[in-house]
Amino acid sequence: MVVAALAGLLSAGAADLSAEQKRAAQDIYDIKCAKCHKFYPPTDYSQAEWDMWMGKMSRKAKLKPAQRELLTKYLQGFREKK
14 burial level (CB within 10 Å; 0-12, 13-18, 19+) = buried
* pLDDT number for residue 2: 43
Q: How far apart are CA 19 and CA 45, in angstroms?
A: 26
* Count of domains forming the chain: 1
Taking the C-alpha atoms of 33, 39, 41 and 45 in order, what is their torsion angle to the nearest 10 degrees?
Answer: -50
Q: Along the 82 residues of the chain, how does pLDDT read in single tens digits? A: 444 444 444 444 466 899 999 999 999 999 999 989 998 888 899 989 989 999 999 999 999 999 999 999 998 887 776 5
Residue 53 belongs to domain spanning: 2-79
